[in-house]
Structure 1
């Protein structure tokens, strides 16, 4: 198995030992994944989010920033990447913490080689799952095709051929 993953054909902007179109992923640890999940909010106009039960939920704004600062001070020398996941409510400019809204750009202030020097040249992945406005996504139907019948059997046939979301 190759120890490199091709993400883009463009080289990274910050020079690193592994500069180029591939990310090296042969470090001792895969990396760290931090999840900021929000279920309830102090603002009574914001509805409770259901369907998630992580170990820690409902972060306050200062807890989110403190966690990002602590992450930036950690040594990421022996890890492949950093993954941040945010599950909350929001609007086009802000996300909601337990105690109120905050600028969604906060994460980008920390997701860079300047804030995370030991993650320079490594992927820093950010996943945001939040409504960001009033427009509804009605969803659409797709056909889930298996190019490899063995892969479908290996998955235990748990995925239907017709998937709706």
Structure 2
């Protein structure tokens, strides 16, 4: 007999769990200089027109949409004391479908060690020929986590180390282009019990081609990192349907990616997770908990995924 679906969290074990202090000896990616000349003659990406440089929307008419990497970590080394992430395969399959619909070249990886995660992302960032002809880069990481950290199947790594290969001259083919990361993982061990809202009162009466110039942009620019939950809190995942965040993200993408900019879509994702999900578990102290995603944007323009011709 199949057990009923329940909600669980993507975190390291509660206090005192085996392997909770595990540390992985992984060195950060070492790349080029942080200065970012925006010209191929000065070590940057392709030469673009000043109209494109100062536009309010990213250029999205390259021959390719870009690469989308999905890292789906489900089963972990016993020493870590981490449970199997039931439901994550549904998340991975859903994202794979959405990204393919959007025109991405999707690469799926299951159960990667920390070193393999670094290798996969390093390879994706260094494929200059592919990236130069692409609109953007997309990455989804589905795993256990802690604040600022995600787990490979053998240990933990800081998210900022995984982003390093894509910064500045480390990734010349994506200079000035969106680099989009979506992370389904816990960021702590707090529960969000939510707060009651009187909807009627809350609504109240509120009304419803030039000369080529060399430019520099910050190495940290043009990133978006969307976490499934704010720092300090558990992130919820259903054993049958997948994580709340990826369920909402996939649904909003399916309905709006052709017509709505990314940040507006992510605001809709926040609303869907906040309003439509509440935990149901076999443990009373974990019931009726809430969650809100956290979006960190260093984008400098709007991201609009117009369909490829």
- Taking structure 2 as the reference length, the TM-score comes to 0.40
Deviation at 1:119, TM superposition (A): 0.7
Number of residue pairs aligned between Structure 1 and Structure 2: 137
Structure 2 counterparts to residues 91-130 of structure 1, below 5 A: 91-130=146-185
The match for 2:53 is: 19
List gaps (5 residues or longer) in structure 1: 1-12, 144-154, 156-162
Counterpart-to-counterpart distance in 2, 1:93 and 1:164 = 26
CA spacing shift, 1:39–1:139, aligned 2, 3 Å: farther
Partner of 2:72: 37
Structure that is richer in helix per residue: 2
Q: Give the aligned partner of residue 48 of structure 1.
A: 84
Q: Is the 8 A contact 1:14 1:113 kept in 2?
A: no
Offset, 1:29: 1.0
* Contact 1:141–1:164 under 8 Å retained in 2: no
Normalized per residue, the structure richer in strand is 1
C-alpha separation in 1, matches of 2:66 and 2:171 = 13
TM-aligned CA distance change 1:137 to 1:87, over 3 Å = farther
TM-score by length of 1: 0.72
The residue number in structure 1 matching 2:246 is none
SS in structure 2 at match of 1:23: coil
Instruction: Answer yes or no: is the 8 Å Cα contact 2:72–2:142 preserved in 1.
Output: yes
Partner in structure 1 of residue 7 of structure 2: none
How many angstroms apart in 1 are the aligned matches of 2:80 and 2:125?
A: 33
Cα 1:133–1:14, aligned 2, differ >3 Å: closer, same or farther?
farther
Residue 47 and residue 28 in structure 1: after superposition, are their counterparts in 2 closer, same or farther (change >3 A)? same
Structure scoring higher RCO (CA < 8 A, sep ≥ 6) equals 2
Aligned equivalents of 1:69, 1:140: Cα separation in 2: 42
Of 108, 131, 141 in structure 2, the residue corresponding to residue 86 of structure 1 is 141
Between structure 1 and structure 2, the one with the greater Rg is: 2
Distance 1:49 1:140, change over 3 A: farther
Q: Distance in 1 between matches of 2:193 and 2:111?
A: 28
Point out 4+ residue stretches in structure 1 off by more than 4 angstroms: 138-143
Q: Helix, strand or coil: the match of 1:24?
A: coil
- What is the rounded CA distance, in whole Å, between the counterparts of 1:70 and 1:99 in structure 2? 20
Q: What is the RMSD of the two structures over their aligned residues, measured on CA atoms?
A: 2.7
